[in-house]
Amino acid sequence: MKNKIIFLEFNGIPGSGKTTLSNRVIADMKSADYPVESYHQIIKKPSRKNLKHLLLFLFRIKPSSFKIGYLAVMYLITNKKLNHENWLRVISLVVLFDFYQKKNRDNVQEVILVDQGIAQQIISMLYESELIADKYVIKLIRYAKKRDLGIFIVNVDLDIKASFERLTKRKGNISRIQKLNEASAIHTLTIQQNNFNKIRKIIKELELESLNVNTQVCIDENVLLIENYIMRIQNQ
């Protein structure tokens, strides 16, 4: 690695425990004075309500970040999911990728955990639809790898029924799936899991390094597994 920054992307279906797990890793490593933080705590996102701020933000984005937006749009077109809601996700993807590039340029030792990363955004764009074409998924992930930004993946798994049960108990941040009845929610989660399986296969084929965890296991075991993974990456 050209520097020691690590972007650890957690991906998995809603309710699988991505945020809970990443928060525990952050809390545990911070207690040992380790430089680790959540992406949500340090990025300064532009507000859609402040058009001037948004335009200034977009003006400062590195040109190479816009390619990820182009690839995301082509991905939406080939999968017939180009709509207003997904345009906002394309912007989020560009903002995320630009953040990766600028933080990477700082050349500091730091670990940033991301629970709404590239793979997660790709799945969210499809929502209840099966992945039709993977051409631009491959291009997106290949481009991210080519930029050599220190992106690593944690694939978070949990039984679909157990994920749904966790969602029914969640308060505060209500997802779209929580608004569905049980049969529809299980159906949607199944589609999303199938799509994740396809994208994870691509990630493996393109040799973007990843770690698999199952949150059915004791959380302490998974936290230790991820911390050891981070240490191994930094010692490469």
Burial state string for 119-156 with b = 16 or more CB within 10 A and e = fewer than 16: bbbbbbbbeeeebeebebbbbbbebbeebebbbbbbbb
Q: In what order do the strands lie in the sheet with 110-114?
A: 36-38, 110-114, 5-11, 151-157, 210-214
Does residue 110 sit in helix, strand or coil? strand
Map out the domains of the chain as residue ranges: 5-234
pLDDT at residue 16 in the model: 95
- Whether residue 154 is predicted with pLDDT greater than 50 in this model: the reply is yes
Listed residue (108, 83, 113, 84) closest to 96, CA to CA: 113
pTM beyond 0.85: the answer is yes
Mean of pLDDT values over 43-57 = 66
Does the 5-234 domain belong in CATH 3.40.50.300? yes
Report residue 2 as tokens.
């050209």
Query: What value does the mean pLDDT of the chain take?
Result: 90
pLDDT at residue 1 in the model: 44
pLDDT at residue 32 in the model: 85
Does residue 12 sit in helix, strand or coil? coil
- Whether residue 140 is predicted with pLDDT greater than 50 in this model: the reply is yes
Mean of pLDDT values over 206-222 = 94
Mean of pLDDT values over 204-224 = 95
pLDDT band at 47 (very low <50, low <70, confident <90, very high): low
Mean of pLDDT values over 191-216 = 96
pLDDT at residue 164 in the model: 94
DSSP class of residue 43 equals: -
> Do the Cβ atoms of 3 and 76 come closer than 8 Å?
no
Mean of pLDDT values over 208-220 = 94
pLDDT band at 176 (very low <50, low <70, confident <90, very high): confident
pLDDT tens-digit profile of 15-31?
999 999 999 999 999 98
Mean of pLDDT values over 141-164 = 95
Report residue 153 as tokens.
């993946």
Rounded distance between C-alpha atoms, residue 132 and residue 78, angstroms:
8
pLDDT tens-digit profile of 62-90?
899 999 999 999 999 999 999 988 988 89
Please give the sequence-ordered ranges of beta strands (E in DSSP) within 68-146, or none if there are none. 110-114
